[in-house]
Amino acid sequence: MIKKLSGICIVFVCMVHSLYAQDASKLNVPVSPAFSILDFEPSAVMRPTNAKSLATDVLSSFDKNGKLLLNLGMEVAPYWLKSHPKLTRKTYLNPSLEQAFLQSLSISAGTAKDSASGANKLGAGFRFRLSNGKTVDELATAEAELSAKNKIILVINNVRSTVGEGDTRQSVTNDIAAKLKSESGLTEKVINSVKQRAGALAEKFGETEDDIDNFLKALITDRDDADIELKKKVSELVYDRKGFVLEFAGATGYNSDEKKFERFGFWGNASYFVSPDDFFTLTARYIHKSNDTILNNVDAGLGFLKKGPSYNISIEGMLRWYQAEMPAFDANNQPITRLEKSFTYRLAVQGSYMISKDISVNLSIGKDFESPFISRKAVFSILGLNYSLFSKEPSKLK
């Protein structure tokens, strides 16, 4: 299945200065901190949703000799491992600080083999929110629309729950129409469409009580299928937030060959969403890497992103204080540790404009961080044309 095959087939690049690989955004908390700290994306990620599957996934992460398998990832949201019958929609959508933490906490873990050194590495991380903003107005509208459609289903189910001797497919259809008319205030057109659909489905069933029960279940399922796009919309809008979002993450990387923790990082992100497509974000992070060289980065930055129907614009600035310790030799050719402390910054303006569904023009201009290890010009500008060769939607097989 081709899920997302998008090829940059033509890139005409204006190299004003030097060109370096650019991150899409430097200001986000990593989705999976454990994978981020290891700098790899595992080939398989397990996402257990209950205690039983968590235990199964943990056990299946080891080979028959009890050794941890490599290139595996796992993400677990502990709160969602069990049912929460007392968690209402209202509480879920407008959580308190404690509830926001519980609902959003996710723990990630990963294993990888370092392609350069061959060392086995383990990563573990967490991520949570303390404030999850507010819902967008469109969610209330979509939920109200879905609720109106659900009322039709519930009226049908009410009739189903009182089916008795003497009832026929026609009598229950008439009963449904009468109840819809008197109790839910629906228009004649909607009621007629329910009757028509009931008439079409009724032919497949008999007249026994069980047949009528199955006929009404089929009618409910049919109506529910018709609402699928609306349910999708509601499900997507749940995650569109506006207002203040406060998020934290942390991760550590362990080298099992050298038996030492060689990386750790902490991220904090405070964002204000004017709308889901228009937000400011303030980020702070600390990254420590300890290999042949030791590097400590402390970053703080501010970004703005705006998405329009056919364009995206992002502006970001980040300050970095770094300290690097690296092996070197002095004038007498004796090994020493060179210590370098400095300050650098990144400034970037990125934009894209969608010419058509499959073609967009992208422009990035700015200055990247300077590195204590590599001497380079950090200014970049990239102009590109992005063309999708393949459809993003999988084709339907007949």
Partner 1 sequence: MAVTFIDLKDTYNIKTKIKDIIVDVSIGDGQSGDFTISLGKQLIEINKPATMGKQDDVKGKKTIVSVKVDETLTETNRTSMTVTVTEGARVTTYGPYKHEVAQHLDSVVYTLKLSNQ
- Under 8 Å between Cβ of 156 and 220: yes
Q: According to the binding rule CB under 8 A, does residue 228 interact with partner 1?
A: yes
Q: According to the binding rule CB under 8 A, does residue 64 interact with partner 1?
A: no
Toward partner 1, which CB reaches closer, 92 or 311?
92
- Under 8 Å between Cβ of 39 and 30: no
The least distance separating partner 1 from the CB of residue 230, rounded to whole angstroms, comes to 9
The least distance separating partner 1 from the CB of residue 231, rounded to whole angstroms, comes to 5
CA distance 299 to 266: 10
Which member of 23, 207, 209, 224 binds partner 1 (CB under 8 A)? Answer: 224
Which member of 179, 289, 307, 367 binds partner 1 (CB under 8 A)? Answer: 179
Site for partner 1 in 37-56 (CB under 8 A): 49
* 92 contacts: CB under 8 Å, gap ≥ 6: 103
Segment contacting partner 1 by CB under 8 A, of 89-97, 262-270, 279-287, 375-383: 89-97
Site map (CB under 8 A) of partner 1, residues 238-277, x = contact? xx--------------------------------------
Residue 91, H or E segment: helix 89-93
CA distance 295 to 288: 6
- Helices then strands, counting H and E runs in the chain, come out as 9, 12
Segment contacting partner 1 by CB under 8 A, of 29-37, 79-87, 284-292, 317-325: 79-87
Q: According to the binding rule CB under 8 A, does residue 365 interact with partner 1?
A: no
Checking 175-180 for CB contacts under 8 A at 24+ apart, the result is 179/155, 180/152, 180/155
- Provide the token pair at 133: 């903003």
- Identify the burial level of 166 via C-beta atoms within 10 angstroms of its C-beta, where 0-12 means exposed, 13-18 middle and 19 or more buried: exposed
- Under 8 Å between Cβ of 125 and 105: no
* 134 contacts: CB under 8 Å, gap ≥ 6: 94, 241, 242, 243
DSSP symbols for 23-60:
-S-SSSPPSSHHHHHHT---SEEE---SHHHHHHHHHT
Which member of 74, 191, 234, 305 binds partner 1 (CB under 8 A)? Answer: 234
The least distance separating partner 1 from the CB of residue 155, rounded to whole angstroms, comes to 7
Q: According to the binding rule CB under 8 A, does residue 183 interact with partner 1?
A: yes
Q: According to the binding rule CB under 8 A, does residue 146 interact with partner 1?
A: yes
Q: According to the binding rule CB under 8 A, does residue 132 interact with partner 1?
A: no
Q: According to the binding rule CB under 8 A, does residue 220 interact with partner 1?
A: yes
Q: Which strands, in side-by-side order, build the sheet including 311-329?
A: 44-46, 72-76, 106-113, 120-135, 241-255, 260-275, 278-290, 294-307, 311-329, 335-354, 359-367, 379-387
Q: At 205, is the secondary structure helix, strand, or coil?
A: coil
Segment contacting partner 1 by CB under 8 A, of 32-40, 221-229, 268-276, 333-341: 221-229
Q: According to the binding rule CB under 8 A, does residue 158 interact with partner 1?
A: yes
Q: According to the binding rule CB under 8 A, does residue 162 interact with partner 1?
A: yes
Q: At 194, is the secondary structure helix, strand, or coil?
A: helix
CA distance 38 to 190: 56
Q: According to the binding rule CB under 8 A, does residue 88 interact with partner 1?
A: yes
Q: According to the binding rule CB under 8 A, does residue 1 interact with partner 1?
A: no
Toward partner 1, which CB reaches closer, 117 or 162?
162
Q: According to the binding rule CB under 8 A, does residue 316 interact with partner 1?
A: no
Q: According to the binding rule CB under 8 A, does residue 87 interact with partner 1?
A: yes
Q: According to the binding rule CB under 8 A, does residue 105 interact with partner 1?
A: no
DSSP state of 397: P
Which member of 17, 52, 113, 231 binds partner 1 (CB under 8 A)? Answer: 231
Residues that bind partner 1 (CB under 8 A): 49, 77, 80, 83-89, 91-93, 103, 143, 146-147, 150-151, 153-155, 157-158, 160-162, 179, 183-184, 217, 220-221, 224-225, 228, 231-232, 234-235, 238-239
